[in-house]
Chain A
Amino acid sequence: MASPSSAYRPGRVLTYFTLLMVFLAGWTFLGGVSVFSKDGWKDIGAHSTPKLGLDLRGGTQIILTPKATTGAPVSAENVKQAVEIIRQRVNAFGVAEAEVQVQGTGTSSTIIVSIPGKANSAVVDAVKSTAKLNFRPVLQEAAPLEFKPKDPKSTEEVHGIFPPIMSATNDAAFKAKFDQLDCTSKGALVGGVPDDPKLYIATCDKESRQRLILAPSRVEGTNIADASAGVDSQSNAIYQVFLDFDATGRTQFAAVTTELAKKTGVENRMAIVLDGLVVSSPSVNEAIIGGKAQITGNFTLQEAQNLASVLKYGALPVSLDVASQSQLSPTLGNDQLKGGLLAGIIGLIVVVGYLLVYYRALGVIAFASLVVAAIMTYFSIVILGQQIGLALTLAGVAGLVVAIGITADSFVVYFERLRDEVREGKGLRGAATSGWVRARRTILVADGVSLLAAVVLYFLSVGSVRGFAFTLGLTTVLDVFVAFAFTRPLVELAVRNKWFQSGGKLTGLDAAHLGISNRAATPALQES
């Protein structure tokens, strides 16, 4: 599709390009624009600077690798469950902007927990411990207490003791604390604090917000063989959760259900506790000897499935190994960021200097293209930070600096082709077009290989280093775009200029420098 130069309108392409840049700039800098995301409507443009990674702003990073505890390999479902549990625990500490990410799949997957700000070894310990699910007889139940600020306009939070409260004995002091148990205020039910199975606990029901005192655990979640949701075989209408225990669980469950079935009222119930909070507390109708239990209730299908999945947590066949744990200092991170930016500025200056010396006026076009590419990259990173939470890491900054060379190279390919065409005797305008047609293919293939490398690196690297692959890939794509939509039309415009056509020394296209002296009428002077 070699378009003849007459059909190509560089001015129009540049206009569209400018409009796009204005749009991106608006998106980046203007607040008050809302978009719909998974968290509902939110303002974009709130941060017009790139989101920084932990290694640049300081914080704690934990890399966990799931290991199979049974013979079966780690499935994507297991990892998803583990991530859900970790997310809940991190949130329990109320850390803002904490992130839990999964990289890779199955056996080779890693879970990365990033917690910005000051280190907190309690968070680290909570993240590392595995989910705890257990079955506890209910001893006492009470309605939730209301904890509200006296002044409704006050933002100050008034709250009691967050669950779970643990105690070795079910004594008066424990009961006194139970009377302060907070199941209603904001932050009370985030959960995530594993309860000690040997102790009595006072905690809340996640759904009903009822306060409960529970006896020590009788069956551990690890003894659940399987859990699933389904309909009752007789009525065919009521949703149920089916539970299946292993040998140990079967014996323990038989013992506890035999005991509870004889009791009445609250004490007939058994609570299912996940990470310190009650997810369900069904009544025990009869002793369950065979190890297969059904939990009936007024479930919707969704509720039944949720409960089944919670019960499976207890049977999660993975343990989490801490592969790496880092505490990153904000000062050192800031030093590194400054270093990276300084390197970028120096790199840009020397590259531009080289291009100007070598390509003269064409070098100015290359310079402008580089600057435009840099601005566009900045916008993209800010927007990606806002939209998908992309954080710029130190490796990412390094990727940006390295990309200066790759981006500039596309211009070199084009300019060299252009000069080849002029050398072969073409007029400047014709050369700009035919040179582009030839350079275009080279640029696409070469950048294609770069992009391929970036994509492979992205999917096979771990942690903050991954940012390098991302920025390298991003800049490769932007490079192609800038070369097509900015550099080329600018060169086309330039070669229509009289001064350029004169082939003066400063144009970078004079006969002597192109080595076409033997063809030109006057043998050019060799510069030496």
Chain B
Amino acid sequence: MANRSLAARLYSGQVSYDFVGRRKLWYLLSGVIVLVAIFGLGTKGLNLGLDFKGGSQFQVKTNASVADGRAAARDAGIEDAVVTKVGTDKLQWRTTTLESSEIASVTATLANTFKVAEAEVATETVGPTWGKEITSKATQGLVVFLILVSLFLSLYFQWQMALAAIFALAHDLVITVGIYALSGFEVTPATVIGVLTILGFSLYDTVVVFDKVRENTAGITKSSKMTYSEAANLALNQTLVRSINTSIIAVLPVASILVIGVGFLGAGTLKDLALALFVGTLAGTYSSIFVATPFLAQIRERNPQMRALAKRVAARRAADDGREPGLETDLPTDSGTTIPVRQVGERAQPKRNIPRSKR
């Protein structure tokens, strides 16, 4: 089975993919997705929930139909209410912002109609300015977080790594928001929290890869064995199994919340959180492999020292190839590759003491 053998090869570390070298392809792919997301955001906009728009909402656990719900709305004096079925066993009414006396009378009518206690009628009323307030809080949170993370990463790694990580983060955010716009999923405070959490997730993944990149590139300019891009790509491959495992493990619980939230409970905190996390985690995994590291390699390669290193490596390879041509690769050579990358899997791993003569 093809799947099985690929998994086994990844597991054993015998396969090495050229992520960094093919960055133009990934950039193109990401660029298209990001453009679609921005297009969706620009044309369709976000479907904002009650907390952002203001209004009153009622929920009752009942198996009654939407038509019954409409009749009840007429009785309760909220003819303009939008009635929807939520989950498998709930009805929901949404209308303009009501006063507390009106809320009490609607609650009483609904409780009476559907034979439940008044305390069982869930109501939510949101004033018109609340949305602006939570939006500004979320924006504030985003800015504070980005500043702190940039500082943290710049101190721990290098500023280039901070830049690349933030770049990947922006990529994930735009994609997630775009998916919300295109799909018309409702945006609630829980969604916002979910999206902000993605920031943490996406970075977490990137940090683990970058930690390995840093390890592989420490003192790299002192030798002529490999270029920065190659070392970064090696780090990616070495952490690939972990990246995939991490993502699977992170997505599994999120998916189980999503299934329960959408399948049984309908709209609510669980679904809203899980959906944002689900989309964001997948985007985060993609970006830490295909966007963050290639982008990092690209900006690091602009450094004169790294350019000099690339030249030395090329010169040395040319000399080596003159003696022993024909390097085997696990992947077909990509003509679009701008930097020569040797895809020799684990043989390119550092600290392996292979006698020089065997190379």
Contact = CB atoms under 8 A, between A and B. Distances in A.
Contacts of B268: 336, 394
B143 to A, nearest CB: 10
Contact of B138 (A58, A121, A331, A460): A460
Contacts of B340: none
B5 A351 contact: no
B123 interface: yes
A343 B256 contact: yes
A423 B241 CA distance: 14
B137 A461 contact: yes
Contacts of A322: 125, 127
Given A327-B107, A406-B250, A515-B11, A446 B127 contact: no
B197 to A, nearest CB: 7
Interface stretch (A241-249, A293-301, A395-403, A493-501): A395-403
A456 B12 CA distance: 39
B274 interface: yes
A117 to B, nearest CB: 8
A448 B90 CA distance: 41
A452 B250 contact: no
A449 B130 contact: no
Contact of A330 (B119, B124, B265): B119
Contacts of B351: 424
A338 B204 CA distance: 30
Contacts of A424: 349, 351-352
Interface stretch (A19-27, A178-186, A282-290, A462-470): A462-470
A459 B211 CA distance: 29
A355 B246 CA distance: 11
Measured as residues with beta carbon below 8 angstroms from the partner, the interface class of chain B is: 35 or more
A326 interface: yes
A8 interface: no
B119 A58 contact: yes
B246 A449 contact: no
A469 B207 CA distance: 20
Contacts of B269: 55, 336, 393-395, 398, 464-465
A445 interface: yes
B145 A526 contact: no
B40 interface: no
A125 B100 contact: yes
A93 to B, nearest CB: 15
Contacts of A517: 12
| SS class, residues of chain B in contact with chain A | helix
A457 interface: yes
B112 interface: no
A118 to B, nearest CB: 5
Interface stretch (B63-71, B188-196, B295-303, B314-322): B188-196
A145 B340 CA distance: 97
A463 B127 contact: no
Given A121-B104, A456-B145, A354 B122 contact: no
Nearest to B277: A402
B62 to A, nearest CB: 11
A7 to B, nearest CB: 25
Contact of A395 (B51, B123, B273): B273
Contacts of B126: 323-325
A193 interface: no
A513 B241 contact: no
Contact of B270 (A104, A117, A336, A438): A336
B134 interface: yes
A385 B249 CA distance: 29
B11 A327 contact: no
Given A450-B200, A462-B134, A515-B11, A412 B141 contact: no
A444 to B, nearest CB: 10
Contact of B197 (A344, A441, A442, A468): A468
A526 B5 contact: yes
A395 B249 contact: no
Task: Report the contact-size class of chain A (Cβ under 8 Å from the partner).
Answer: 35 or more
Contacts of B101: 121
B39 interface: no
A330 B122 CA distance: 9
Contacts of B308: none
A65 interface: yes
Contacts of A344: 253, 256
Contact of B125 (A325, A416, A423, A442): A325
A445 B268 CA distance: 33
B127 A324 contact: yes
Interface string A92-109: 000000000000100010
Given A445-B207, A454-B200, A339 B190 contact: no
A409 interface: yes
Interface string A420-455: 100110000000000000100110011011101110
A512 interface: yes
A343 B148 CA distance: 33
A340 B270 contact: yes
Contacts of A397: 270
A365 B314 CA distance: 46
Nearest to B1: A528
B193 A461 contact: yes
Contact of A325 (B124, B152, B241): B124
Contacts of A58: 119
A446 B257 contact: no
Given A339-B264, A405-B249, A329 B120 contact: yes
B107 A420 contact: no
A16 interface: no
B252 A405 contact: yes
A450 B269 CA distance: 21
A412 B270 contact: no
Of A63, A402, A469, most B-chain CB atoms within 10 Å: A402
Nearest to B345: A515
A513 B13 CA distance: 9
A322 B54 CA distance: 11
A489 to B, nearest CB: 22
A453 B207 CA distance: 14
B170 interface: no
A311 to B, nearest CB: 30
Contacts of A68: none
A442 B269 CA distance: 32
Given A325-B125, A457-B197, A513 B11 contact: yes
A453 B100 contact: no
A328 interface: yes
A450 to B, nearest CB: 5
A449 B156 CA distance: 11
11 contacts: A108-B133, A325-B103, A327-B121, A346-B259, A395-B273, A401-B254, A413-B246, A424-B349, A461-B141, A468-B193, A469-B193
Given A394-B270, A401-B257, 19 more contacts: A65-B133, A108-B137, A321-B129, A327-B123, A336-B268, A342-B260, A347-B254, A354-B245, A393-B269, A395-B193, A395-B269, A398-B270, A406-B204, A412-B245, A412-B246, A420-B238, A452-B148, A453-B200, A464-B269
Closest 5 CB pairs of A and B: A515-B12, A453-B200, A347-B253, A460-B141, A405-B250
Interface of A: 55, 58, 63, 65, 104, 108, 110, 117-119, 121, 124-125, 128, 321-332, 335-336, 339-340, 342-344, 346-348, 350-351, 354-355, 358, 393-395, 397-398, 401-402, 404-406, 408-409, 412-413, 416, 420, 423-424, 438, 441-442, 445-446, 448-450, 452-454, 456-457, 459-465, 468-469, 472, 512-515, 517, 526-528
